[in-house]
Structure formats: C-alpha cells, structure tokens
Structure 1
Amino acid sequence: MEKIIEQTFTVPFRYQVCFLEGIFNVNNPMLADFLDNGKKAKAFFVVDSGVSDAFPNLLNDITEYAKAYENKFLLNSEPLVVPGGEISKNDETIFKKIVDATSIYGIDRHSYIVGIGGGAVLDMVGFAAAISHRGIRHIRIPTTVLSQNDSGVGVKNGINSYGKKNYLGTFAPPYAVINDFNFLTTLDDRDWRSGISEAIKVALIKDLSFFEWLEKHADQLANRVMEPMQELIIKCAQMHMNHIAGKDPFETGSARPLDFGHWAAHKLEHLTHYQVRHGEAVAIGIALDSTYSYLKGMISQADLMRIINLIKTLGFEIYHPELSGQALLKGLEEFREHLGGELTITLLESMGKGVEVHQMDNELILKSIDQLKLFHQENLVARS
C-alpha cells in the first residue's frame, strides 16, 4: 500500500516596533502593557554589561518599574547581566545561562524574556528564548544605532560557532521591539557611527532618495546630531520591516538582498577577531562590492566616488589589511554554504537598485581590494 497525506497551513506573525524616550519611566506604561497577558506573567531581563555600565541606575530602574506595574507582570529574579559585543555570541556558556534560568525560575511559554543591549546580545538572547520550551516570548530593547535600525528589528537570532558567524540560529519574530533613543546618548563614536552603515546599505539597494538624504545629512550624523539620527533609524526600521513582509522572511531561498556588503564583512570580522565591529566591517564590505560593481561596468566611476566619499565623510575606514589574500575569498564560499544552494550576492545595478548575481570573479574581487587600498592610501596622504 502506498499513500501520501498532505497539509498546507500558514502561521501569521505580528509584532510592533516602537520608538520612545524613557522606557523605564514609571509614568510610561508601554513596556508593562506588552508584558501584561492578563495572568501576571513572569518577566526575565537580560542586560548587556555595556549598557548597565553606561547607565548605573538601570538595574534599579527595572526593579522600580516592575514594582510600579506589579499588577501587570512579575519580575521573577534579578536581571542577568551578560558581556556585550561578539563575546556574548562566541561563548556558548553565556546563552546557556539564560536557558538555565528558564528552568530555575519556571519561565514558561506564557512568560517573557526581555533583552536589553546591542545587536550581538539581542541575537544571543533571542536564540536562547527561541530554543527554550520551543519558544518563549521575547521582547527586544535595542540600545545601539545598529540594533535599533537593523538587527534588532528583524526575525533572526543566533550565536557564532565553528569559527563562523551565526552558524547556530533560528528564525523567530520577537513579541515586540522597543527603541528608546535615550540609550544612544552614551554610545562612543564608533558605536554611534557603526549602525549608519546599514542605512547606506539599504539606501543603495532600495532607495536613491534616501541615499541623497544621507549625503545631505552626513556631517550632522557624523557630529552626533540626534534628530537626523532618529529619522534615519525610523526610516531604516520601516524599510527593514517592509522587506520582512515580502516573499521570503525566513530566507528559505538563497537570496538575501539585505546582506549587500555582508559576505566580506562577516569574514573580515572573524579575521580581525572581531576587533573590527560589525557596522565598520559592513562599511568596508559595501565599499568593496560597490567597487566590484564599478569594475564590472554596472555603475559609473562618479557613482562609486559618491559612495566612497559618503562612507569617508561619516568617519568609516574603507580598507583593512586583513581584507587582502585568499582568506577573504574563502568567506565567499562560507557565505554560499550559510545561504544553502547556489551563491547569491547582491550588487548594484544602479544607485538605489540592487541586483542578484550567482557568481563572482575572484580576480576582480582582488582588483577591487587593490582599488580600495589605493583609495585608503590617497586618504592618508591627504591627511598628512
């Protein structure tokens, strides 16, 4: 006997990305309203150590906020403080502490795990939440430009393993994302700048008018003017969410247009032992793939110089010594392996419009690297 039974179903996902100032102000019920499931749910907070160091009263503020809204949710333990940055994704014992806490404190599928921190910490916390009880509700509170405008908005979670970025991970939409602009005020210049690279990325592949806006406001952004930064974050978050709502939010295919500039960036991060931060690596990766697009005759030299000049004006480097050699080319194969199936890379068909290609010319990649090195050296001469 031979028989096949088939079923098709869809699962709708809905979550909000919110923007405010003063999330733990006891007069602001937004977070408490998200945590209120009508059953006085448990909430477990995980805090990036960089954030708790920058805001010494934060842990006390969380406690006082929970007391003010004890009719809506229960703070079932002291917040867990974890190291910030990529170390939180490289050390598996860190995410295991969160999984252990779900057992110790009885954090079930009707409870909430609230992550507060940069993108790396949120990736790790989201992964722990997704694999515990097959999924615990996760609320993200991003605290950096990069996490507020890009990584914290999406549906991906993960940790690094086997020497590869995001090798272990899940697609699990958050219950909510709450962006508090006050967290940006204590960022150092590198972290302030870092997230702007994701805005350059999305502008180049989707919206020329947004790229022109970035050119117009580059000096203000570089000098930490808050109003244009808020506008940038909201614009990027909206574009990111629009993309997620498209045909392939869980990336079952091989196309990842929002990863323009990322194949080289991921490898560069690893080669520098994460001394080059993600946004800094993405800026270099954008410069590399834009140069490659120019050498392939896809964009003009004038277009390329607009891109390079914007990246420089914002304070990014466009070259790093680890960019050269076969080690970087190995990252191309690792990127294909991570995607599954055929290689799919987004390049520039024109300013504001990305195009997918399925092969890259290694010799042209090396020529692109050489060109970036020349741009870099010319800049050093101009400074001296």
Structure 2
Amino acid sequence: MTMTITMTSSKSLSAPGDRLQDYETEDGAAWRVSALKKVSYDVMVQPRLLDPANPALARAVTSGAAPARRLIVIDATVHSLYGEQLAAYLASQDVEFNLCVIDAHESVKVMDTVFEVVDAMDAFGVPRRHAPVLAMGGGVLTDVVGLAASLYRRATPYVRIPTTLIGMVDAGIGAKTGVNFREHKNRLGTYHPSSLTLIDPGFLNTLDARHLRNGLSEILKIALIKDAELFELLAEYGASLVEQRMQPGEDAAEGAALTVLRRAVQGMLEELQPNLWEHQLRRLVDFGHSFSPAVEMAALPELLHGEAVCVDMALSSVLAHHRGLLTVAELGRVLDVMRVLHLPVLHPVCTPELMRRALADTVKHRDGRQHLPLPRGIGDAVFVDDLTQQEVEAALLMLAEHEQAPQQPTLRGPLDLGV
C-alpha cells in the first residue's frame, strides 16, 4: 500500500508572476522585484521501506545515477536498531554513503548540533542540488537536518524518513525547520520542506509506548479541531493502538491503525498547504501550541513535545468549556481520551505566572494578536482574541481538581469562572 500526498504552494511578494517593475520616486529611480517560488513535495506511506524489494528509498537516493553518493544523518538509537539493515539496503542499490550519527533529543536541539551536521555535509562534499541529504530519525533529528540543509549553500535538498509517530504526523511532513534558543522553543528556524518524506509504520514496532503516546497527542490535536471521526477512533482504539504499536493488521484495532495514520497526515497537510509560509497567523494547527512551548521548555527534560501539547490542549479545552464552546459531556470525553492515552493534562510548572508569560510570548509570535484556537464541540474550532488571565487561572484550578479526582472532575458551567 502506498499513499502519496503532493504539497504545492507558492510564495510571492505582491505580484501574480515574476516581474521587475521600475518606478520614480521623489529622490530618483526605484525598482520592485516580484517573484514566485513554487514548492512541491511528496509525502508517501511506504511500508517495508528497508526491504530491498521496495524501490521507494532507492529512487529517493539514487536519482537514476549509479553509483550514487549520499550523506545520511541518522539518530543514534535508530542507527543501533536499523543501521545494519539500512547499510545492506544501500549496498544492494550501489549507493556510497557516509553516516553522521546524532544523539538527537530536545536538550541538543540547538545550533551547535546544526553546525555538527553542516560540518558533516562539508566534509562529505554535498553538492548543491542533486544529492539530497537523508535525515532518518524523530522530529528533533529532522528539524535539525532541515535547518542545516536550508543554510548550507543557501538551500540544499534533503529527504526525511521519520521513525517516530510524532515525526510521521507532524514534524516530518511540514515546511518548518527549527532549533531552540535559550529558553525558547524553536526560536530559530526556516521554511525548507524536504523534497520527499517516506513514512514506514514498521519503524513504530520498536518505538516505546511513551513516544507512541507522544505522537498520538498530535493526532488528537487534529481530531479535536477538525475530525470528529478521528476522535472516535482514538476514543475506541487508543489503548490498543499503543499496545499494538500502530501496526496495521486484520482485527479492528489493527485496521484502525492505518486509518488513524492516514487521517492524521491528511488533516495536517490540508491545514498546512494553503498557508505553508504562515502569511496567515490564524492557524488551526496552533491548537495546543499557545502555552505548550513555555511549558515544554520549563519542564525540560521531563515532558516530551506531545505531552506538553496535551497539557495545552487540556487547558484550552477547559477554557472552551468555560466559554460555552464545549458541553460538560464533551469536555469529559476529551479528558477521558487523554487519560486513556496516558497523556498528562497538567504539570507542576504550569503556574499562573508561567501561563501569563507564555501567552504574552505567543501574542508576540502571532504579531500582536492571540489568535488562540479553542475547540467548538469535537471536530471543530474557533479563534479567540480576548482571553484573560482570570480565565486561565480558573482553568488551571479546574485541571488541578481533575488531577486529584480524575474519575469525578468538578466541571464548572459556561462562564462560571469560579473566582
């Protein structure tokens, strides 16, 4: 089975086509340069990617030329699990390769690691256009390699092979690259999508349960803002998806795995493509990402990215309930699914002061507006721009009560802020 999604977008200054316009000013001549940059890339689900009988990876790394030379940047854990299989596959395709092995995790998602990749690219002699670097690992690894590729010779192509669930449904399929700077999440980055992303669910067989849940959090994000059917699949099969490592098969839960993966990727790409360069700062996929950057960095290394996102989604869902956007029953279902997936809804770093700073930084990031997505029912969302600190503190209080008695949460009625 192969699923291919081709992403196409354009970036322009002000004109529908490439042109140079000259005009006069009071002080002399002036020129305006207008250009289009067309971007097209493929996202493909390719089971058994390292099987020599599967030509998908060979097509990505050989480009029809033999022998081919490729630099492969690979996560250290992935290398220990799949390094020999990868080497055998490449040897069968007559590919000469060098490995750059990175112990990729959030604490090393910094510019020093980007420079390590750039050093490897320079030492290998990566050409500018026709020998894409291969990035194989989780979201941290693909973000780092993407940033390095965007900087090296001002844009070098690369191919992503995400090996974590969060990489397959989020970090590995968009246009953004990034690393952390000081206490800020992804503060440095570029827009530089890979020419191809190859998704093999088989890699999830060796992913631990916590990292599977980490990825399911980003899938839950898509479900809550735009896909009620996906939410129902998570509610019914969430625990089984973790137990069975998201592997497709014959029974209902195994059959749900592929459907969940496909719907998550499709939903994410549907939101990204019309706004790939983020000219529009009202983005539904920012649900769960208004408070979570500050929470994740403050809790580092205790929380994974998806776990911090889930804390944000829980807080945002309570805020939606207080505003009458979610009923008591709907909020209860949202929190129940989070509990079934063993995802956190609160963390000790979530103080009112941290939430205040988090929202203030988000407002700067969104150019002076909150543009805060809140769920409206399950499978829809709205934006708000007038969230108050009082509402945030009331929501934190409710989540704290939920943590103390998760089976019988104290759910306040709409606009009953409890303060």
Give the TM-score of the pair, scaled to structure 1: 0.92
For 1:18 and 1:361, locate their aligned partners in 2 and report how far apart those are by CA, in whole Å: 42
- Bigger CA drift: 12-21 or 98-107? 12-21
- The corresponding residue for 2:356 is 329
For 2:69 and 2:360, locate their aligned partners in 1 and report how far apart those are by CA, in whole Å: 44
2:259 counterpart of 1:231? yes
Provide, for residues 50-73 of structure 1, a one-character-per-residue CA deviation record: whole Å limited to 9, x for no partner: 2223x1xx2233322222112xx5
- The corresponding residue for 1:173 is 193
CA 1:124–1:118 in 2, change beyond 3 Å: closer, same or farther? same
For 2:361 and 2:96, locate their aligned partners in 1 and report how far apart those are by CA, in whole Å: 44
- The corresponding residue for 2:13 is none
- CA contact under 8 A between 1:221 and 1:314: conserved in structure 2? no
Equivalent residue for 1:261, pick from 288, 301, 309? 288
Runs of 4+ aligned structure 1 residues displaced above 4 Å come to none
Provide, for residues 166-217 of structure 1, a one-character-per-residue CA deviation record: whole Å limited to 9, x for no partner: 0110111111001111210111110011111111111111122222222222
- The corresponding residue for 1:200 is 220
Provide, for residues 362-382 of structure 1, a one-character-per-residue CA deviation record: whole Å limited to 9, x for no partner: 111011011011111003899
Q: Secondary structure at the match of 2:232?
A: helix
- The corresponding residue for 1:47 is 74
Q: Secondary structure at the match of 2:32?
A: coil
Equivalent residue for 1:100, pick from 101, 119, 141? 119
- CA contact under 8 A between 1:52 and 1:59: conserved in structure 2? yes
- Bigger CA drift: 285-294 or 6-15? 6-15
For 1:245 and 1:220, locate their aligned partners in 2 and report how far apart those are by CA, in whole Å: 31
- The corresponding residue for 1:316 is 343
Amino acid at match of 2:87: T
Equivalent residue for 1:375, pick from 388, 402, 409? 402
Matches within 5 A, 1:358-373: 358-373=385-400
Equivalent residue for 1:64, pick from 88, 97, 105? 88
Equivalent residue for 2:314, pick from 287, 298, 313? 287
Q: CA RMSD in A?
A: 1.9
For 2:46 and 2:65, locate their aligned partners in 1 and report how far apart those are by CA, in whole Å: 26
Amino acid at match of 1:74: E
- Bigger CA drift: 154-163 or 28-37? 28-37
Percent sequence identity is 27
- CA contact under 8 A between 1:344 and 1:359: conserved in structure 2? no
5+ unaligned residues in a row in structure 1: which ranges? Answer: none
- Bigger CA drift: 225-234 or 311-320? 225-234
Q: Secondary structure at the match of 1:155?
A: coil
CA 1:374–1:86 in 2, change beyond 3 Å: closer, same or farther? same
- CA contact under 8 A between 1:155 and 1:171: conserved in structure 2? yes
Q: How far is 1:7 from its partner?
A: 4.1
Q: How far is 1:121 from its partner?
A: 1.2
Q: How far is 1:268 from its partner?
A: 1.1
Greater Rg over alpha carbons, structure: 2
- CA contact under 8 A between 1:85 and 1:120: conserved in structure 2? yes
Q: Secondary structure at the match of 2:303?
A: coil
Equivalent residue for 2:53, pick from 16, 22, 27? 27
For 1:204 and 1:123, locate their aligned partners in 2 and report how far apart those are by CA, in whole Å: 25
- CA contact under 8 A between 2:291 and 2:359: conserved in structure 1? yes
Amino acid at match of 1:315: H
Q: Secondary structure at the match of 1:5?
A: strand
Q: Secondary structure at the match of 2:29?
A: coil
For 1:15 and 1:253, locate their aligned partners in 2 and report how far apart those are by CA, in whole Å: 21
For 2:90 and 2:206, locate their aligned partners in 1 and report how far apart those are by CA, in whole Å: 24
Amino acid at match of 1:330: R
For 1:219 and 1:86, locate their aligned partners in 2 and report how far apart those are by CA, in whole Å: 26
- The corresponding residue for 2:158 is 138
Provide, for residues 93-135 of structure 1, a one-character-per-residue CA deviation record: whole Å limited to 9, x for no partner: 2221111122211102222111111111111111111110111
5+ unaligned residues in a row in structure 2: which ranges? Answer: 1-26, 248-253, 410-419
Amino acid at match of 1:26: P
For 1:121 and 1:219, locate their aligned partners in 2 and report how far apart those are by CA, in whole Å: 27
- CA contact under 8 A between 1:167 and 1:338: conserved in structure 2? no
Q: Secondary structure at the match of 1:299?
A: coil
Equivalent residue for 2:301, pick from 241, 263, 274? 274
For 1:16 and 1:259, locate their aligned partners in 2 and report how far apart those are by CA, in whole Å: 23
Equivalent residue for 2:63, pick from 34, 37, 47? 37
CA 1:5–1:39 in 2, change beyond 3 Å: closer, same or farther? farther
When the two structures are aligned, how many residues end up with a matched partner?
Answer: 373
Structure with the larger helix share: 1
For 1:186 and 1:39, locate their aligned partners in 2 and report how far apart those are by CA, in whole Å: 33
